[in-house]
Amino acid sequence: MEDCLIKKMEITVSEAEKRTGRNAMNMQETYTAYLIETRAVESQGEGQCAPVDSLWRRYSEFELLRNYLTVTYPHIVVPPLPEKRADFVWHKLSADNMDPDFVERRRIGLENFLLRVASHPVLCLDKMFYSFLTQEGGWKEMVNETGFQLKADSRLKALNATFRVKNPDKRFTELKHYSDELQSVISHLLRVRARVADRLYGVYKVHGNYGRVFSEWSAIEKEMGDGLQSAGHHMDVYAASIDDILEEEEHYADQLKEYLFYAEALRAVCRKHELMQYELEMAAQDLTSKKQQCEELATGTVRTFSLKGMTSKLFGQETPEQREAKIRILEEQIQEGEQQLKSKNLEGRDFVKSAWADIERFKEQKNHDLKEALISYAVMQISMCKKGIQVWTNAKECFSKM
């Protein structure tokens, strides 16, 4: 962990800016750019403040970086990006991706993504990631020149492997099932939270009616007037406080959403393993088939029905020279196949070892983060209830003085 970039560099996404420009189709578009600021940590220990380097990035560039990391490090649970458009929102919250509150939460999420990558023992060492933070011009061209898109597995290919792999690794199958369940549970939790927020908003705002009624009542009372007016003021303050409360709640919801998206990152690792296992099985099957063909040519016996066998019976046997040439070609292919199978076996073992080490690291991170988020959420709810009790305690005192 000492080599992690997070130990050597401060990274912040300090602000967001709405811009207008032309896209690849030469059509005008409005987008948000984010200011990334970095500062070297080393020189700060000497009492000197290192200069701040800054550059602007669009959300699409963050997407390109994450796609590159996912393809380049398929054995790693790559941190997810915050949502591009708001989801699981309660009715008073805007789903517009240009809404200032949403842009601010996404700015926080993008900073969190960079800090996650910078603190990862493997991802933090990647040169493209470092360039993303420090080199504004030409970065996209540099990433595309790596050719990572050519290494990306197609969805169809991965889906084919899922249904056709014969000996899936039980651990990865269970992990895939767990990621599905995790996504389902967090989705339900976020929906419940959105419904509660809707109702809570209504309950708080309706307390404003108490304030209005107490204020109107105070106008017709002499002895009770001041007490009623003061109680009404406390109700108005209580009704107005819900906006800040629910805005704070959104940050806890965003922490849960991060792990909603992490579930897909887990599945991506599982899909890659399935694909590798499928390719290994196909290579082994192809090698077995070639060995059988070679044996049949050498002995002149055919074990299984084949079009080639039927052709030989109808049009005559091959000459010894033709058979020898075919055997030589097959022997070369068998030798290549054995090397390929050995290579795929080693690659598969390395993948499993590396992937499982990162999955264990992720589990520790997840348990810590979700525990802290849920505790903080509970503390916030307790604080909110205490404020409600205080409001009614104040109102009681106002009524007692009447």
In a domain, 225, yes or no: yes
* pLDDT score for 304: 56
pLDDT (0 to 100) of residue 167: 87
HSE-CB of 197 using CA atoms within 13 angstroms = 22
pLDDT value, residue 330: 87
Token duo for residue 63: 């997407």
For 247-289, what is each residue's pLDDT tens digit? 888 888 899 999 999 999 999 999 999 989 988 989 999 999 9
d(CA 374, CA 372): 6
Range of the domain at 267: 168-300+321-401
CATH number of the domain within which 200 lies: 1.20.1270.60
d(CA 285, CA 272): 20
68-99 confidence digits (pLDDT tens): 999 999 999 999 999 887 776 655 555 566 78
Give the pair of three-digit tokens for residue 120.
């990862």
Whether 111 is in a domain gets the answer no
Q: What is the mean pLDDT of residues 385-398?
A: 94
User: Alpha helix (H) ranges present in 219-319?
Assistant: 225-240, 242-299, 307-315
Q: What is the pLDDT of residue 312?
A: 54
68 within domain boundaries: no
For the chain, what is the mean pLDDT? 87
Question: Does a structural domain hold residue 396?
Answer: yes
Q: Which of 132-141, 191-200, 301-310, 313-322 has the weakest average pLDDT?
A: 301-310
Cβ atoms < 10 Å from Cβ of 150: 7
The answer to whether residue 39 scores a pLDDT higher than 70 is yes
Please indicate, yes or no, if residue 151 is contained in any of the structural domains: no
The residues, any chain, with a CB within 8 Å of residue 280's CB and separated by 6 or more, are 341, 344, 345, 348
Under DSSP, the state recorded for 6 is G
**Mean pLDDT value across residues 355-368:** 96
Domain count, the chain: 1
Q: What is the per-residue pLDDT for 303?
A: 58
pLDDT surpasses 90 at 339: yes
What integer pLDDT is reported at residue 95 of this predicted model? Answer: 57
- What percent of the chain is predicted at pLDDT more than 90? 57
Query: pLDDT at position 94, please?
Result: 56
| pLDDT given for residue 152 in this prediction | 79
Token pair for residue 4?
């992690």
CB 279 within 8 A of CB 165: no
pLDDT band at 296 (very low <50, low <70, confident <90, very high): confident
15 is a domain residue: no
Q: What is the pLDDT of residue 314?
A: 45
**Does some domain include residue 264?**
yes
* CA-based nearest residue to 87, from 336, 254, 292: 254
pLDDT at residue number 315: 46
DSSP string, 365-386: HHHHHHHHHHHHHHHHHHHHHH
Decide: helix, strand or coil at residue 19. Answer: strand
Task: State mean pLDDT over 361-368.
Answer: 96
Q: Is the pLDDT of residue 309 over 70?
A: no
Q: For residues 78 and 124, what is the distance between their CA atoms, to the nearest angstrom?
A: 11
> Per the domain annotation, does 198 fall within a domain?
yes
Which secondary structure element, helix H or strand E, spans residue 32, and what is its range? strand 28-40
